[in-house]
Chains A and B, each alone.
Chain A
Amino acid sequence: MTISRATLLLLLLPGVGYLVLFFGLPLALALLTSLGMGTIGTNQGFTLSHYAELFSNSVYRDGISYSLYISVVPTLVSLAVALPLAVTLQAAFPGKKLFLTLYKAPLVVPGIVAAFIVMILFDRGGEMSRILKPLGLSLPKLVRDDWSLGVIIALAWKSIPFMTLIIGGALASIPTDLALAARTLGASRLTVFWQIELPLALPGITAAVLLVFVGSTGAFAVPSLLGPIYPKPLSIWMYEAAYQKNDWGLATAMGIVLSAIACAVLLVYYRLTSGLHHATGGEVR
């Protein structure tokens, strides 16, 4: 039986229609607005001026770099903590059940609350300084500091449980016999990790890295509360352009650039994992 073209389109309508209506359409409208042909704000006719301003103004260029900085660094910090944590959690230890419940707490804490927690703990005169003061120790500047350490702490704190969960799942799905077989063939525990477990968990690890990276790219609450006065991430400039300057063309151009960065990372991810799929045979049991 062959399905007629019309039937096929009708069958595709709910899924594809949903994507077009709620994802494609807003993105297309944003793109049009950023090119001066928007329905929001003034319609100037086709222009690249918003993009020109975005890339020529050093304030916005710094914004792009800063947005990348607060995406890359927290992602790397999270990975550095989550990977060993996920490996540790594969083993049995007393109190594991309690720990498994507690470590996921940051998952349900909104970003803005996380930012306030970091502020209360690490700001000058915060809880940590009070605890450390009698010991004669003092904290470096962690809130609104030049290196955005507070932003990194808050974003990483949010992402670590999420990453641990995904990487832990990937590690747990590797049959234990593989590690045991490698051991009997002469591999040490560390070699088993590098040569067997890590390659087999890599699809899970890259997925976790990607999701955390994209999540941090658009972070707004955390850098606005804990970040330095300058530079600011693109997400904040976007808000200012739209709501304070009523420049929707510029704001949407920034949104398009942020989306493009996320898409580029996604493409790199697909390239990497399809390469890996080729190497691992496309399927990891």
Chain B
Amino acid sequence: MADAVITGLRKTFGPTVAVADFSLHVAEGEFVALLGPSGCGKTTVMRMIAGITQPDRGEISVAGQRIETLMPERRNIGLVFQSYALFPHMTVARNVAFGLRMRGVPAGQIAAKVAEVLAMVDLADHGERLPRELSGGQQQRVALARAIAIEPPLLLLDEPLSNLDAKLREQLRDDLKALQRRLGITTIHVTHDQSEAMALADRVVVMNAGAIVEIGTPRRLYQTPQTRFTAEFLGHTNIIPAQVQAGLMIAPWGQVLGAAPSATGLLHLSVRPEDLGLSPSEDGVGLVTEVTFLGAEVEHRVTVGNLRLRARSSGQGAAVLPAGTKVTLSFPADLHLLAKSTAP
């Protein structure tokens, strides 16, 4: 089983705790994204798995084998760098062959394997080029080909798409996902781009300040985040505090939002901008302060008391309410409550 099990991984740099008690099980063939803001420890976790950084403590097993004490060259892990790290003095084919040569694979087999993986990334006729003669997207694909040529049980991707422009990034994202599915290779992808993580990963690990905040499928994390951090990091959201009175949730401006669960006291709701409805009304509690036309969507900023909310509507019927319009707010029937540590 080419799964990866990480248990109790910890790393400090001087007084700074980069990674605190990180544990994760990645199933065989699974695509997991480590998502978080810069400095959250996601890259440190990846470097510890690759063996470039030594953990203070913790265990790492890949395909049932403990690897945390091994030198990087003994770990047999494919790593694609953000900078691609292609060897500038070697041709594309020599770059891809490097890992196989290090393993003492016979020349004939190397040539066949290089041709095979270069074909996989659509660079079959670029083998004799030098990295600097390729575009950024092509270099990225060479880096990927070089990493998968050694047939690693685990593939690590460190922000592999962040140096590309938006259109190319989407294209390569789709190619990357298709290739990963086809090879069935267990993959850990490090990124700070939530849409990239959601588009690619089977499961997303949301990280902040060296610790895991939440783990789940992209859909689960987006629709029912347990924490405010996840709710706000994955797309935009409105956090609305609500008081429970007589079994009902009451918004600060007095609107009844729905039936309260068994809990009492103060609750926090996460309402996505696309779920918040606005309708113009003379006695509305909200005031539109800003309207932004985004092409596919229209975004309204609404002030209610001291809360600033965001509402988005899309489609041809999307109304554009001018700034200064008074509005009433409507909420979906299925409200989502944040479970943990929701203090603002």
Chain A residues near B (Cβ < 8 Å): 175, 177-178, 180-188, 191, 196, 199-200, 279-281, 283-285
In the complex, per-residue mask of B120-153: 1 if CB is within 8 Å of any chain A CB, else 0? 0000000000111100000000000010001000
Contacting pair A281 B103 (CB below 8 A):
no
Q: Which of B83, B102, B132 is close to A191, meaning CB atoms less than 8 Å apart?
A: B102
The residue among A181, A186, A191 with the most chain B CB atoms within 10 A of its own CB is: A181
Q: Which of A181, A183, A186, A280 is close to B89, meaning CB atoms less than 8 Å apart?
A: A280
Residues of chain B within 8 A (CB-CB) of A281 are 88-89, 130-133
Contacting pair B89 A185 (CB below 8 A):
no
Residues of chain B within 8 A (CB-CB) of A187 are 73, 98, 102
A184-B79, A186-B102, A187-B98 known, 18 other contacts, Cβ within 8 Å = A177-B85, A178-B85, A180-B50, A181-B81, A181-B85, A181-B86, A181-B87, A184-B52, A184-B72, A185-B98, A185-B102, A185-B150, A196-B87, A280-B88, A281-B89, A281-B132, A281-B133, A284-B88
Contacting pair B88 A184 (CB below 8 A):
no
Q: How far is the CB of A205 from chain B (nearest CB, A)?
A: 14
Contacting pair A199 B89 (CB below 8 A):
yes
B272 interface residue, CB < 8 Å from A? Answer: no
Q: Closest residue to A178 on the B side, CB-wise?
A: B85
Residues of chain B within 8 A (CB-CB) of A182 are 87, 98
Contacting pair B98 A184 (CB below 8 A):
no
Residues of chain B within 8 A (CB-CB) of A279 are 89
- What is the bound-complex CA distance between A181 and B72, given in angstroms? 9
The residue among A180, A199, A200, A284 with the most chain B CB atoms within 10 A of its own CB is: A180
B19 interface residue, CB < 8 Å from A? Answer: no
Contacting pair B133 A184 (CB below 8 A):
no
Q: Which of B51, B86, B103 is close to A184, meaning CB atoms less than 8 Å apart?
A: B51
Contacting pair B73 A183 (CB below 8 A):
yes
- What is the bound-complex CA distance between A178 and B85, given in angstroms? 5
B300 interface residue, CB < 8 Å from A? Answer: no
Q: Closest residue to A181 on the B side, CB-wise?
A: B85
Q: Closest residue to B80 on the A side, CB-wise?
A: A181
Q: Which of chain B's residues 70-105 have a Cβ closer than 8 Å to chain A?
A: 71-73, 75-79, 81, 83, 85-89, 98-99, 102-103
- What is the bound-complex CA distance between A279 and B146, given in angstroms? 20
Contacting pair B102 A283 (CB below 8 A):
no
Q: Can you list 20 A-B contacts with CB-CB less than 8 angstroms, sorted by A residue number?
A: A175-B85, A178-B87, A180-B50, A180-B85, A181-B86, A183-B51, A183-B71, A183-B73, A184-B52, A185-B99, A186-B73, A186-B103, A187-B98, A188-B71, A188-B73, A191-B102, A200-B89, A281-B132, A283-B132, A285-B132
Contacting pair A186 B150 (CB below 8 A):
yes
Q: How far is the CB of B185 from chain A (nearest CB, A)?
A: 15
Q: How many A-B residue pairs have CB under 8 A?
A: 73
Residues of chain A within 8 A (CB-CB) of B87 are 178, 181-182, 196
Residues of chain B within 8 A (CB-CB) of A180 are 50, 52, 72, 79, 81, 85
Contacting pair A184 B78 (CB below 8 A):
yes
Residues of chain B within 8 A (CB-CB) of A283 are 88, 132
Q: How far is the CB of A43 from chain B (nearest CB, A)?
A: 55
Q: Closest residue to B156 on the A side, CB-wise?
A: A184
Residues of chain A within 8 A (CB-CB) of B102 are 185-187, 191
- What is the bound-complex CA distance between A184 and B41, given in angstroms? 20
- What is the bound-complex CA distance between A284 and B98, given in angstroms? 19
Q: How far is the CB of B104 from chain A (nearest CB, A)?
A: 9
Residues of chain B within 8 A (CB-CB) of A186 are 73, 76, 99, 102-103, 150
Contacting pair B83 A177 (CB below 8 A):
yes
Q: Which of B51, B71, B83 is close to A175, meaning CB atoms less than 8 Å apart?
A: B83
Residues of chain B within 8 A (CB-CB) of A188 are 71, 73
- What is the bound-complex CA distance between A182 and B52, given in angstroms? 11
Q: How far is the CB of B102 from chain A (nearest CB, A)?
A: 3
- What is the bound-complex CA distance between A177 and B52, given in angstroms? 10
Contacting pair B72 A183 (CB below 8 A):
yes
- What is the bound-complex CA distance between A279 and B118, given in angstroms? 21
- What is the bound-complex CA distance between A180 and B98, given in angstroms? 13
Q: How far is the CB of A40 from chain B (nearest CB, A)?
A: 50
- What is the bound-complex CA distance between A180 and B53, given in angstroms? 10
Residues of chain B within 8 A (CB-CB) of A284 are 88-89
Q: How far is the CB of B218 from chain A (nearest CB, A)?
A: 28
Residues of chain B within 8 A (CB-CB) of A183 are 51-52, 71-73
- What is the bound-complex CA distance between A180 and B77, given in angstroms? 12
- What is the bound-complex CA distance between A199 and B98, given in angstroms? 15
Q: Closest residue to B149 on the A side, CB-wise?
A: A185
Q: Closest residue to A283 on the B side, CB-wise?
A: B132
Q: How far is the CB of A270 from chain B (nearest CB, A)?
A: 19
Q: How far is the CB of B97 from chain A (nearest CB, A)?
A: 10
Residues of chain A within 8 A (CB-CB) of B150 are 185-186
Residues of chain A within 8 A (CB-CB) of B81 are 177, 180-181
Q: Closest residue to B89 on the A side, CB-wise?
A: A280
Q: Closest residue to B83 on the A side, CB-wise?
A: A177
Q: How far is the CB of A116 from chain B (nearest CB, A)?
A: 44
Q: How far is the CB of B79 from chain A (nearest CB, A)?
A: 4
Contacting pair A185 B88 (CB below 8 A):
no
Residues of chain B within 8 A (CB-CB) of A191 are 102
- What is the bound-complex CA distance between A123 and B89, given in angstroms? 48
